[in-house]
């Protein structure tokens, strides 16, 4: 339907020439040069390979779809429930994060802190006094203090633009513990030892890259009294001033003097220790260097998902199931589950063979396979049927009887049917 030109002018709006633009600059609250709600890794982590490992694991965890579903009596997936909780997990968790960004934030914070809380910051009723409520917004909270039945969490308040400490009951916060806590977060774990060694290596590199020359000047006389010490100090300052004032950093010394340079790299085993600890960390996390740099084959990726990603997803979904779903909801078959797309790791040259096997064995319909490949569905009833397309469609009972009569087949006694 065409819109009249006058109506378009009357109702049109432009972000730069809007008549009410002054309303946007009155009081917007506290401003920052960075996003204040983002999780930032602890000190010493961001300068090492550990931050890259955290980010890689968190991205792969967020790549698996987590949603609110209904299960049958045998625990099999039936359908997705379009609830407000499902909206938080799949579409928008809060005003700053989408569902996928929220899951990635949960995973990264869990790896860094060891234990985090998923806090429902907005609901339709007060969650402290009832178990039946609809979750409208979720945030990741850092646990500051533990009490027998409560926790003090630091959560970002989107209305004030800053993080605040809240004391909430444990039964309303989904507390997620890192399944690799003993590997990542223990004080003497492999990951913490790796961070310590890499910080030491960085410290040595910083000293070697400094502007100091580290020279020893051997003078032609013995420095054992105050007069000789003053002469040696004067000589040192003279050479230093020559180097500073020289355009190319050149100085001269007496023929009887000798200079020894000390800042040559000293051999140590830090590099080999870092490589050993990195390899051990990869092995304990179920990763390989090929997985980390993106060159792993399908078998290695499957092992990585089963050993590394699945425990993290199970910890997140289990915590939300026991906290956000009541006993009545669980009895009705409601559950927060995760499903990974098995076709993401399949090469293109194998798609045709897989599609033929899935349709021939009546596992997926043609339209379901077209959606996986990325094509829009076909508007025909046959494309939605679960049947083997290589066989003729079965005839109905009446058609089969008519077909027999037309052929005039004979029974076992020789009579025409």
Q: What is the mean pLDDT of the chain?
A: 83
Tell me what the mean pLDDT of segment 9-26 comes to.
Answer: 61
More confident residue, 216 or 116: 116
Write out pLDDT tens, residues 33-72: 888 888 888 766 666 788 889 999 999 999 999 999 999 9
* pLDDT score of 199: 80
Q: Residue 180: pLDDT band by 50, 70, 90 thresholds?
A: very high
* pLDDT score of 174: 95
* pLDDT score of 397: 46
What is the residue whose two structure tokens read 């559950």? 335
Q: Is 374 exposed, middle or buried (0-12, 13-18, 19+ CB in 10 A)?
A: exposed
Distance CA 263, CA 208 (A): 7
Locate 296 and state its tokens.
């792993």
Tell me what the mean pLDDT of segment 317-339 comes to.
Answer: 94
Q: Do 45 and 195 contact (CB within 8 A), yes or no?
A: yes
For residue 417, pLDDT beyond 50: no
For residue 5, pLDDT beyond 70: no
Q: Is 167 helix (H, G, I), strand (E, B) or coil?
A: strand
Distance of CA 308 to the CA centre of its chain: 12
Q: Residue 95: pLDDT band by 50, 70, 90 thresholds?
A: very high
What is the residue whose two structure tokens read 């179920």? 286
pTM over 0.85? The answer is no
* pLDDT score of 406: 52
What is the residue whose two structure tokens read 């999780």? 39
Report the alpha-carbon angle 21-23-28, nearest 5: 115
Write out pLDDT tens, residues 259-311: 777 665 545 667 788 888 888 988 889 888 899 888 888 888 989 999 999 99
Tell me what the mean pLDDT of segment 100-113 comes to.
Answer: 95
* pLDDT score of 208: 63
Q: Residue 396: pLDDT band by 50, 70, 90 thresholds?
A: very low
* pLDDT score of 404: 45
More confident residue, 137 or 203: 137
More confident residue, 289 or 413: 289
For residue 336, pLDDT beyond 60: yes
222: Cβ–Cβ under 8 A, 6 or more apart, which residues? 228
Write out pLDDT tens, residues 350-359: 888 888 888 8
For residue 243, pLDDT beyond 90: no
For residue 328, pLDDT beyond 80: yes
Distance CA 298, CA 301 (A): 5
């Amino acid at each position: 339907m065409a819109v009249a030109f006058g109506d378009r002018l009357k109702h049109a709006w432009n972000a730069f020439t809007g008549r009410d633009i002054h309303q946007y600059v009155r009081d917007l609250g506290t401003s920052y040069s960075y996003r204040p709600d983002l999780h930032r890794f602890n000190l010493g982590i961001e300068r090492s390979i550990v931050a890259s490992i955290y980010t890689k694991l968190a991205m792969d965890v967020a790549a698996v779809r987590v949603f609110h579903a209904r299960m049958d009596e045998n625990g099999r997936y039936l359908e997705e429930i379009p609830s407000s909780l499902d909206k938080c997990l799949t579409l928008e968790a809060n005003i700053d994060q989408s569902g996928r960004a929220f899951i990635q934030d949960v995973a990264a914070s869990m790896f860094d802190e060891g234990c985090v809380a998923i806090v429902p910051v907005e609901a339709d009723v007060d969650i402290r006094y009832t178990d039946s409520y609809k979750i409208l917004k979720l945030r990741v909270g850092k646990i500051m203090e533990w009490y027998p039945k409560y926790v003090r969490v630091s959560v970002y308040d989107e209305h004030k633009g800053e993080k605040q400490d809240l004391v909430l009951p444990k039964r309303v916060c989904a507390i997620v513990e890192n399944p690799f806590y003993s590997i990542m977060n223990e004080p003497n774990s492999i990951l913490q030892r790796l961070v310590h060694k890499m910080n030491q290596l960085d410290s040595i590199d910083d000293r070697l890259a400094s502007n100091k020359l580290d020279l020893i000047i051997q003078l032609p006389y013995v420095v054992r009294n105050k007069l000789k010490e003053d002469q040696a100090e004067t000589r040192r300052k003279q050479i230093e001033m020559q180097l500073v004032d020289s355009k190319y950093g050149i100085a001269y010394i007496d023929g009887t003097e000798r200079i020894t340079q000390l800042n040559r790299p000293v051999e140590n085993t830090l590099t080999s220790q870092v490589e050993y600890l990195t390899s051990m960390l990869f092995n304990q996390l179920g990763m390989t260097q090929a997985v980390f740099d993106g060159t792993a084959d399908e078998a290695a990726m499957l092992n990585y998902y089963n050993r590394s990603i699945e425990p993290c997803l199970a910890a997140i979904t289990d915590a939300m199931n026991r906290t956000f779903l009541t006993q009545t909801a669980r009895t009705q078959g409601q559950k927060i589950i995760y499903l990974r797309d098995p076709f993401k790791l399949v090469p293109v040259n194998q798609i045709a063979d897989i599609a033929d096997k899935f349709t021939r064995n009546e596992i997926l319909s043609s339209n379901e396979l077209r959606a996986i490949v990325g094509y829009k569905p076909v508007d025909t009833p046959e494309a939605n049927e679960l049947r083997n397309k290589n066989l003729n469609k079965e005839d109905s009972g009446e058609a089969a009887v008519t077909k027999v009569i037309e052929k005039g087949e004979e029974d076992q006694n020789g009579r025409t049917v």
